[in-house]
Amino acid sequence: MSTSVVTGGAGFLGSHLCDYLVAQGHRVICVDNLETGSLENIEHLKGPEFSFVYQDVVDGIWIDEPVDYVFHLASPASPIDYLRLPLQTLKVGSHGTANALGLAKWKRARFLISSTSEVYGDPQVHPQPETYWGNVNPIGPRGVYDEAKRYAEALTMAYHKQQGVNTAIARIFNTYGPRMRKNDGRASVTFLNQAIEGKPLTVFGDGSQTRSMCYVDDLIRGLYLLATSDEHLPVNIGNPGHELTMKELAEACIRVAGSSSTIVYEALPTDDPLVRRPDITRARAILGWEPEIDLDEGLRRWMRSLGHTPVG
């Protein structure tokens, strides 16, 4: 049985990864300080194959037993969180990543870091391939997250090249699904809950900015395939087939919820990217990975998890 450490394992993506790893026969050690994660996300995981360690990865990571994989997902990930926690975001990207890499080196484990499409900033190349270096404002409000992840990637590659750590870098694009916090602040969870409650959906700007939406089950499958591969260079994980405007995403949530909600518009946040779509050529070639769940089906699954009956 392989043993996997998942930092940030009580969060949205981390808890789904814990589920998947347990289902694959792994023993899973979930490490989280619960700053943005929740014990509710992992309370169903009990028994000898799963354990929870309350620990802030910025202060260090102490695991006594052998470890085969380290999945480093710890970090505030939504704008509402990293704008509230700018120093913590920078520290988890720097000190936290160094500690996670140190654990992987000590245990001779395969290391995977969850990076982000935000390393591309407000891109001037579309769709974004891994070879694109990005267009990031390092001192803007989003810079604490963007630059934390860019630094974490650089640190990961340095550990691989100089220390011989077996590393992987996943650049995650917009992902949605069950266990996103209602007050997360990201568009998909805000829109769906507003539609369910019959409230106006708040779209920033004129709603023409685009995102590519990947259902969480597809994303987690991609992370696992990358972790169990031999690849070291960054790989985009996202759904290029579901690039849609924020207005279209709002309309999809209204449609699936069977809601009578209207759409209202508010000012566009500073440095909000205008386009976002992954080029997943490398993921297809290296991992044989393709997203399988379309947007309406993903939204319906999410609604059912919330105890609501979707339309269609």
pLDDT tens, 52-105? 999 999 999 999 999 999 999 999 999 999 999 999 999 999 999 999 999 999
pLDDT band at residue 36 using 50, 70 and 90 as cut-offs = very high
Does residue 26 surpass a pLDDT of 80? yes
Claim to verify: residue 58 and residue 93 sit in the same structural domain: yes
CATH of the domain at 271: 3.90.25.10
pLDDT digits (tens, 9 = 90+) for 266-310: 998 887 889 999 999 999 999 999 999 999 999 999 999 999 999
In which domain, by residue range, is 245 found? 180-211+241-276+293-305
pTM over 0.85: yes
pLDDT at residue 312, as a whole number: 75
Mean pLDDT of 183-201: 94
The 8-class DSSP code of residue 50 comes to: E
pLDDT of 145 above 80:
yes
In a shared domain, residues 268 and 132: no
User: How many domains does one find in the chain?
Assistant: 2
CA separation for the pair 26, 17 (Å, rounded): 11
pLDDT score, position 188: 95
Within-domain flag for 170 = yes
Catalytic: 145?
yes
Active-site residue among 145, 159, 176, 224?
145
Among residues 61, 77, 69, 71, the alpha carbon closest in space to that of 12 is found at 77
**Residue 287 within a domain:** no
**CA distances from residue 176 to 73, 179, 296 in whole angstroms, order as listed:** 16, 9, 12
